[in-house]
Structure 1
Amino acid sequence: MVTRRTFLGGLLGAAVGPAAARDMGDRDIEPEFLRDLLTADRIPPMPERLPKHPRIINMKEAGLTPGVYGGSVRTIIGAARDIRYMTVYGYSRLVGYDKHLRFQADILGGYTSENDSIFTFHLRQGHKWSDGHAFTADDFRYWWEDVISNKSLTPGGGALELRPHGVLPQFEVLDEFTVRYSWDKPNPNFLPALAGPLPLVIFGPAHYLKQFHKKYQDDFRLSALMRENRVKKWVDLHIKMSRASRPENPELPTLDPWRNTTAPPADQFVFVRNPFFHRVDENGMQLPYIDRFILNVSSSSIIAAKAGAGESDLQATGIDFNDYTFLKEAEKRFPVKVNLWKQARGSRIALLPNLNCADETWRKLFRDVRFRRALSLSIDRHEINMVAFYGLGKPSADTVLQDSPLYKQEYADAFIQFDPDEANRLLDELGLKARDGEGFRLLPDGRRAEITVETAGESTLDTDVLELVHDHWKNIGLALYTRTSQRDVFQSRAMSGTIMMSTWFGIENGVPTADMAPSQLAPTVDDQLQWPIWGMYYLSAGQEGSAPDLPEAVELVDLLKQWGATADFRKREAIWHKMLSIYTQQVFSIGLINGALQPILRSAKMQNVPERALYGFDPTSYLGIYMPDAFWLKEA
């Protein structure tokens, strides 16, 4: 049976209503910020800037308050590359999630999905890029024919989300505002990939990018552009100038609510409102309400101190729960408010034994489920929760939260009870009975059982928790040592097998639905620190790394393939539950506490910021699904 789903864009999904249209005609609702551009005829008036059918956000229906234009918002980033947060916060997507994590058309005026195999996208007529050029099917055609299909620009054959069964889809331009992607088999990960914090890229501003493409530019001019941008190959030039997820090129047209105006290197980046953004409120006012975002670069280690000193108007990244008390005190000194949102990860802190560890003795132990279970059972999560999280978190395995429709108590409870006697029994059963004079167990080769846990050292919370785990494991005869590595060398050490165990966050998406891919539960990418070499094998389609040889890990990969081959929601749901059961019973990652809280600091003048919400990278895009373009400043 073929299932067909149709989705219209926007909460109202229609043209600007009669009342709003009269409002736009009767009064001047242009942002003051754009006044000079309008006076100089550099941009047209609002009715000509908006699509014929803009996306209407009915603030009152969404539980928000209609706002006013104006104001600048300061935020602090830890490095220049973190300007990428603006594309996450802006959350302008072809198809995105609403705050209930349901799909909705956004940039698209609407779309249809037939059996999750044929996707037809309808663009909004009159939609324009931030430079005023029309956004049409040609922007999809260019990306398909001249980027994805170009072996120089895309040597790997295209993103895995585009070829889940090994073959790219058929791409068609049906008319100026309609495109279609068709697979012979279902591709249920296509929409989640488009809705993610780093969305699958399937279009780009063709009118701008052609100047950097060998097919459209003469060699002399292309060479000059390469020298000007300090690259040696035209391919590198095109990649550098087209990278939307890291908006370092101020000239690159965007569909986001704000566009970057500052070229790196810089200590401050200024993003200003996109005059052609496609969303309006029910009163006909064009979003975003806020004119300007100012991103100040600082050391990541002092972001919390600066935010608490009144130097930020909106801060979510670079601060952690252990900064909450200090930030809350700042409310007495500065006009700021600090709210607590629930982190959406499977665990705020997880211990990840490296099943690809180069040390053969430790690799054999880590691959034995009895050892992983013993490590988990010996941890007193209640103590960790009370000491490090003031009792506000929830002891849990590394699994989905109660906010997910896939939640089951048995997943959360898997091997988390504090039972050192059972942990000792399991270790004895493994043959680790011999101990040295200090009571530490000895490995089969005579070495003391010493586990080095590596951390990026970016949060004192991690080191505080590891001190507690150190004592818990000492009680069962295991020695824990901590080593700090810079994040940029973390990955290479894991891939080489040098890292025995690491501490990191738990599964990225702790609030999934069955329509979201369960790839986080199987070896799929090389930054999964519990099996990076197996993950690289999957990511590279077998060209690098090595295939998993642990039966349960092999089964997880097989189940993931089954999920990707069905359009049946019930089958997807059953696969999710099977994978969650295997993952938690096998303790592939040792979760400690989830439901932890994340401070969100905002100006006291800022409206429409939720008091409580879910906070995470995927799927909520940090602040993204709560529409920062709808935030506004009182007395702006």
Structure 2
Amino acid sequence: MKHLTTFGIIWAALGLLVGSAHNIAMAAECPAVTVADSMGVAAGKYPQQYELSEFQSLANCTLSFSGNPDAAALNSRIRGNPQLPPLEDRIPMEPLVVAPYASIGKYGGTFDMISNATEAGTSDFLAIRHVNLVRFSDNLQTIVPNVAKDWEWNDDFTQLTFFLRKGHKWSDGAPFGAEDIKYWYDNLSLNPNVFEKPKDYVLVGGERMTLDVLDPQTIRFNMPAPKPGLLAHFANSYAQGFQPKHFLSKWDPELNPDADAMAKAAGFENGLEVLSNYYGNSDWTDTPTPMLRSPDKAGNLPADTVPTLESHILISESTEGRHLVANPYFFQVDTAGNQLPYVSEQDEIFVNEDEVRLLKLVNAEVHFKAQSLQLSTAPLLLDNQEKGDYTIQLRPEVTISSFGINMTHENLEKRKVFADLRFRQALSVAMNREEMNEVAFFGMGEAKQYVGFTDSPPFVEDKWKQHFAQYDPALANSLLDEIGLKDTDGDGFRELLNGDKLVINLQFAVQGAPAALVELIGQHWSAVGVQTTVKEVTPDEYRSAQSSNKLDVTNWRNGQPLAIVLGTNQIWVPPYHDYFTVRTNMLWAEWVDSNGASGVEPPDYAKQMMEDITAFQSALVGTPESDELGARLVENLVSNLLFIGTVQVPAPIYHRNAVKNVVEYTTHSFEYYRSYPYRPTQWWLDE
């Protein structure tokens, strides 16, 4: 068997075999190791963390455990939770031991955050409490254990086995194990009555996997073809590879004959409606759920809170925000034996106005913010750092703002023009990217074409990074003339081929693109006779219009690193991303989803990309086969300008100085799931 550690560190030799984490007799009290001070303790198999037996062996000590003194009071606020048992009955027998970055923390406090709306701008906050089977470490290369304590691949990457932690419990004290992973996969992700269309990450080349429960703590994914990127998916995705079977199966008619009656008593049509509303609407874990319907004036919930493995659990939710308390059964401890998280409560409020959000940051009313902060906000935030006692990091964005021209537009005359490659080429060279960089981004960005892969693997030829990215309005006019788009009424703007006015309505949300950038693009296109109107809308309005095929042009930050592309095909298959990001050509997607029964048939190059991404995900990275497939994916994507790239820039990350153990981020990115690699469970509040 091949053991894949993805740049992992060689395991230090173990001193003693340990049978139970709760029956250990060793030499001394454990040193409070931090990343800043190892205190003479060698690194473990994985960076900045240890398994319990590994840590005790390397440190020649016995770790004793302690917990938040307010845990019982916090637990009493979790609707449906039983009385809290002692700490030793709450943490796993095999907890994950986390080395804090700089200091052992103190318990308490409320972590304050702002998001845009219930499903807009919330990943910033969700990433702070998020867990999945594994995660990327902060170098964004090494995959390390998290919920799973380890994993193992077979030789051809068609079997992935996860080993879970003995004694791990859900936030309500129920056992967590392999059955919860199998239930998530078989009963939810692949159930057409719950999830209309399976996500690509639960399939391999469009085919399902099978999951074998080998024992309560061991589960094996069996794949119909190699998919080495499956592990990377679990390392970065917000979609967790498990769900609480003991809780959700009560509503599942396949598993509980009383499910429909229970659901009707709770105000639903049947049990499937509960499951569909909970999971089938979205795998986005901050989607409001039926368990949290209409809290009363005191913020109480009408049903028990859905159990979680995350560091904090939701106790109240409304249209104004959410409130969470620490999970009393969380599976991580620090090197001094303190159960994590240190922070007792989290509070999130929804503020959809960009100016109000900025004011709250300047006034230090928020502990942390990264999502929706554009580079344009940096001067104001930097100027007020000392006064507000906060720190701003400017870190590179992984993605680049990209614009997709809707080639399946409901207006057939627009569709005819938009589908002409010369039109997309003209719009691209009409863009003055250097002006965008200077005006919108203070000269701190890099003008680029969109190439899909954000980390430029070797098979991405340099020529594609600047393909039709030069500023050449003369060429733009020539191409538009060649198509036959003329200004016959002399108003300075071109008409469609049938004589109707050609007007591009460019809608955007500031969460996806800064206003200054979009306004400049509107001016650039209008300057070559393509009349363009610019309108700012809310993220929810934008996403709804985009997914309904109502937009002329779609725009958001786009692109994914190679490791993530290996796990999901979404940026290579119509509509080329998910609901929360940039999508285009929705009727191509309908054709694909319906197997040609409806929608619009994609062109041959789009079909080739669908074939190539399936083969690419099964090929070993760095082989000639992989490189050939990757190069062809890039060529088809860029040469046809499915998306038009702009300028790649850094963006601000904000944190109050009272938040301890925050380190410098490698990137400002959703693609590595924001704060998840930087271990926010070991943050603490010094205030």
Q: TM-score, normalised by structure 2?
A: 0.80
Give distance in 2, aligned partners of 1:398 and 1:417. 13
* Counterpart secondary structure, 1:505: strand
Deviation larger for 184-193 or 585-594: 184-193
Deviation at 1:388, TM superposition (A): 0.9
Aligned to 1:547: 601
Are residues 1:170 and 2:204 paired?
no
Give distance in 1, aligned partners of 2:353 and 2:562. 28
Give distance in 2, aligned partners of 1:621 and 1:579. 24
Q: Is the 8 A contact 1:495 1:533 kept in 2?
A: no
Aligned to 2:234: 194
TM-aligned CA distance change 1:452 to 1:152, over 3 Å: closer
TM-aligned CA distance change 1:535 to 1:334, over 3 Å: same
TM-aligned CA distance change 1:418 to 1:6, over 3 Å: closer
Aligned residue type for 2:134 = V
Aligned to 1:395: 447
Deviation at 1:393, TM superposition (A): 1.4
Q: 1:231 aligns with which of 268, 286, 289?
A: 268
* Counterpart secondary structure, 2:52: coil
Deviation at 1:593, TM superposition (A): 0.9
Deviation at 1:569, TM superposition (A): 4.9
Q: Is the 8 A contact 2:251 2:260 kept in 1?
A: yes
Aligned to 2:463: 410
* Counterpart secondary structure, 2:4: strand
Aligned to 1:34: 71
TM-aligned CA distance change 1:49 to 1:385, over 3 Å: same
Q: Is the 8 A contact 2:332 2:339 kept in 1?
A: yes
Give distance in 2, aligned partners of 1:390 and 1:568. 37
Deviation at 1:239, TM superposition (A): 3.9
Q: Is the 8 A contact 1:15 1:54 kept in 2?
A: yes
Are residues 1:109 and 2:161 paired?
no
Deviation at 1:275, TM superposition (A): 2.2
Give distance in 2, aligned partners of 1:398 and 1:544. 29
Aligned to 2:533: 481
Aligned to 1:5: 4
Deviation at 1:431, TM superposition (A): 3.4
Aligned to 1:205: 244
CA RMSD for the aligned pairs? 3.4
Q: Is the 8 A contact 1:369 1:586 kept in 2?
A: yes
For residues 95-116 of structure 1, give each alpha carbon's deviation from its aligned partner in whole angstroms, at most 9, with x where no partner exists.
2222224333321111112222
Are residues 1:426 and 2:479 paired?
yes
Q: 2:664 aligns with which of 611, 627, 630?
A: 611
Aligned to 2:52: 15
Q: Is the 8 A contact 1:304 1:318 kept in 2?
A: no
Aligned residue type for 2:601 = A
* Counterpart secondary structure, 1:615: coil
TM-aligned CA distance change 1:403 to 1:555, over 3 Å: closer
TM-aligned CA distance change 1:147 to 1:494, over 3 Å: closer
Aligned residue type for 2:681 = D
* Counterpart secondary structure, 1:32: coil
Give distance in 2, aligned partners of 1:354 and 1:126. 52
Aligned to 2:410: 358
TM-aligned CA distance change 1:13 to 1:543, over 3 Å: farther
**Residues 314-393 of structure 1 correspond to what in structure 2 (within 5 A)?**
314-345=368-399, 347-348=400-401, 350-393=402-445
Aligned to 1:505: 556
Give distance in 2, aligned partners of 1:150 and 1:358. 32
Deviation at 1:35, TM superposition (A): 6.2
* Counterpart secondary structure, 2:169: coil
Aligned to 2:14: none
Q: Is the 8 A contact 1:78 1:300 kept in 2?
A: yes
Give distance in 1, aligned partners of 2:527 and 2:321. 50
Q: Is the 8 A contact 2:230 2:566 kept in 1?
A: no
Are residues 1:591 and 2:652 paired?
no
Are residues 1:257 and 2:298 paired?
no
* Counterpart secondary structure, 2:234: helix
Aligned to 2:653: 600
Structure 1 unaligned regions, length at least 5: none
Deviation at 1:404, TM superposition (A): 4.7
Aligned residue type for 1:198 = Y
Give distance in 2, aligned partners of 1:244 and 1:427. 42
Aligned to 2:609: 556
Q: Is the 8 A contact 1:534 1:547 kept in 2?
A: yes
Give distance in 1, aligned partners of 2:479 and 2:665. 42
Give distance in 1, aligned partners of 2:632 and 2:500. 38
Aligned residue type for 1:245 = T
Aligned residue type for 2:208 = L
Aligned to 1:286: 339
Aligned residue type for 2:212 = E
Aligned residue type for 1:110 = D
Give distance in 2, aligned partners of 1:260 and 1:306. 23
Deviation at 1:433, TM superposition (A): 5.7
Deviation larger for 559-568 or 89-98: 559-568
Aligned residue type for 2:607 = V
Structure 2 unaligned regions, length at least 5: 9-44, 292-303
TM-aligned CA distance change 1:544 to 1:604, over 3 Å: farther
Are residues 1:49 and 2:90 paired?
yes
* Counterpart secondary structure, 1:451: strand
* Counterpart secondary structure, 1:75: strand
Aligned to 1:129: 170
Aligned to 1:581: 635
Q: 2:583 aligns with which of 529, 534, 545?
A: 529
Are residues 1:621 and 2:620 paired?
no
Aligned residue type for 1:5 = L
Q: Is the 8 A contact 1:521 1:580 kept in 2?
A: no
TM-aligned CA distance change 1:326 to 1:442, over 3 Å: same
Q: TM-score, normalised by structure 1?
A: 0.86
Equivalent residues, number: 617
Give distance in 2, aligned partners of 1:131 and 1:20. 33
Give distance in 1, aligned partners of 2:277 and 2:500. 50
Give distance in 1, aligned partners of 2:616 and 2:372. 35
Q: Is the 8 A contact 1:359 1:497 kept in 2?
A: no
For residues 228-260 of structure 1, give each alpha carbon's deviation from its aligned partner in whole angstroms, at most 9, with x where no partner exists.
3x3222112234456881275462111111111
TM-aligned CA distance change 1:240 to 1:86, over 3 Å: farther
* Counterpart secondary structure, 1:341: strand
Deviation at 1:532, TM superposition (A): 1.7
Q: Is the 8 A contact 2:178 2:219 kept in 1?
A: yes
* Counterpart secondary structure, 2:409: coil
Aligned to 1:140: 181
Deviation at 1:226, TM superposition (A): 3.5
Aligned residue type for 1:520 = I
Deviation larger for 253-262 or 398-407: 398-407
Deviation at 1:306, TM superposition (A): 2.2
Give distance in 1, aligned partners of 2:82 and 2:313. 20
Give distance in 1, aligned partners of 2:642 and 2:412. 18
Aligned residue type for 2:530 = L
Q: Is the 8 A contact 1:73 1:293 kept in 2?
A: yes
Deviation at 1:623, TM superposition (A): 1.6
TM-aligned CA distance change 1:351 to 1:282, over 3 Å: same
Deviation larger for 433-442 or 69-78: 433-442
Q: Is the 8 A contact 1:76 1:296 kept in 2?
A: yes
Deviation larger for 109-118 or 208-217: 208-217
Deviation at 1:390, TM superposition (A): 0.8
Deviation at 1:385, TM superposition (A): 0.7
For residues 128-148 of structure 1, give each alpha carbon's deviation from its aligned partner in whole angstroms, at most 9, with x where no partner exists.
111222112232344455445
Aligned residue type for 2:395 = W
Give distance in 1, aligned partners of 2:325 and 2:503. 53
* Counterpart secondary structure, 1:472: helix
Deviation at 1:355, TM superposition (A): 0.9
